[in-house]
Amino acid sequence: MYTTESQNEHLEDKNTPSSTTPQILKDSSISEHEETKETVLSQTEETKPQMEKTYSCPPQGELNKLITNGVAFFMAWCVVWSFSGPEVLPGGNLFGLLIIFYSAIIGGKLLELIRIPSVPQLPPLLGMLLAGFTVRNVPFLSNYIHVNNTWSSTLRTTALTVILIQAGLGLDPQALRHLKRVCLRLAIGPCLMEACSTAVVSHFLMNFPWQWGFLLGFVLGAVSPAVVVPSMLLLQENGYGINKGIPTLLIAASSLDDIIAITGFNTCLSIVFSSGGILNNVLASFRDVLIGVLAGAVLGIFVQYFPSGDQVKVQRIIKTTWYIFQPLLFGLVGSEVSVASLQSNAIGICVATMSLALLVRISFTFVLMCFAGFSFKEKIFIALSWMPKATVQAVLGPLALETARSSAPHLEPYSKDVMTVAFLAILITAPNGALIIGILGPKVLTRHDPNKVDVELTKLELH
């Protein structure tokens, strides 16, 4: 009896788990179902207010932001109209600047939307340039959009100052100290060579006087920081070419290259439009350069200590300022070119002049880099990266035209040709230069970790 009962109890104990397992599974499935149901309900309850919030009245999100900015802008416009009067109405300077500014922004944004696989993004400045060109050459718009030449010149000069400051803030002092000789070679040689070759070619192809040929040469001789600086900073952030300091070399040389081109242009401009002796004009230009160097040295010592290292917003302010002046700069340059004033044969001659001088510049840059410790691929990259033109051409191109209009109307045809060549140079070299840098850089430059690499520039320093 005891054995039978114990066996039965044992069998009952053994069957107990099997009998309770379905119940446990059932309970767990019920609980999981209830939890899932609660989760779905909670998500639905969370989504429902958001949906109601999206379509609520008053509107929220982007629509609210758009309406707010629109009303704020309208109120600001009314305030300006109250004390400036017709300046903010169609035909006024402020109205023209406003239309060109927003047209340039829209043009840059539209160009950013163009995405080609395996091809770097085109620079927005090209869209801004084309927007200003469109505003000028659409008959209905051109009747109501006008900007005073003095306003236009002042804004373009300010934009050039901002981009040069931004270029200086992006320099690497350690790499620049080692690259000083190569930097001087790269900044001075190609600029002077292109200026001289442009003078020769324009003298025989465009029938330019020699002084106008050199003036055009220094307009074309400057490389564009607006294209080179952002492209090189991007390569530097990703570690391409930083072991030899190539991005820093090109950023630093672009700033110095522009200074040389601007100095040469001012000298030629004073010779062309001045009745004084050539020697006096040259000496006056060197005097201005010396004053600029001294002022820059004093300001450089000042900014070494002020602002201090804990004030990180200085560079951000400069970048924000450039975002404002960039659309104005390229929009105003595009608006200076009129299709009605262009001749078909003149366009071909202008393109030929610019192309021949550019080939001389690229070849000479390659030769100069042959004794600087770079590999063959790196020399090709540096030579081709030294072709984009935009910012300085946008400033200097119209300057000769403005000077001719005010002081020497009989020289206006030459100044219009200078303006046309500058416009075509931007239109052709800026997008192609940006594409070459973006495509060729990752393929030919060696990549290193920016946080670990130690700049090895001993060979460069020896040359």
Please tell me whether residue 312 adopts helix, strand or coil conformation.
coil
Q: Please report, in tens digits, the pLDDT of each residue of the chain (463 residues total).
A: 444 444 444 444 444 444 444 444 344 444 444 544 444 444 444 444 444 444 567 778 778 887 887 788 788 888 888 877 788 888 888 888 888 988 898 888 888 888 776 666 677 877 888 898 888 888 887 778 888 877 887 887 787 777 667 666 656 676 667 778 888 899 899 999 999 999 999 999 999 999 999 999 999 999 987 788 778 888 888 888 888 888 888 888 887 888 889 888 988 888 888 766 777 777 877 787 788 788 878 887 887 777 776 666 676 777 788 788 888 888 887 887 777 766 667 788 999 999 999 999 999 999 999 888 899 999 999 999 999 988 788 778 888 888 888 888 888 889 989 988 988 898 888 888 888 888 888 889 988 876 665 444 434 333 3
Separation of alpha carbons 320 and 300, rounded Å: 22
Q: How far is Cα of residue 102 from the mean position of the Cα atoms in its chain? A: 17
Contact status, residue 179 vs residue 457, Cβ threshold 8 Å: yes
Domain boundaries, given as residue ranges, for the chain: 50-88, 91-462
Q: What is the pLDDT of residue 354?
A: 93
Region of 216 on the Ramachandran plot (φ > 0 left; ψ -120 to 50 alpha; else beta)? alpha
∠ CA 135-231-308, nearest 5°, is 105
91-462, CATH topology level = Na+/H+ antiporter like fold (1.20.1530)
The answer to whether the pTM exceeds 0.85 is: no
Angstrom CA distances, 253 to 157, 217, 244, 386, stand at: 20, 18, 15, 10
For residues 115-151, one letter each, b for 16 or more C-beta atoms within 10 angstroms of the residue's C-beta and e for the rest, the string is: eeeeebebbbbbbbbbbbbbbbbeeebeeebebeeee
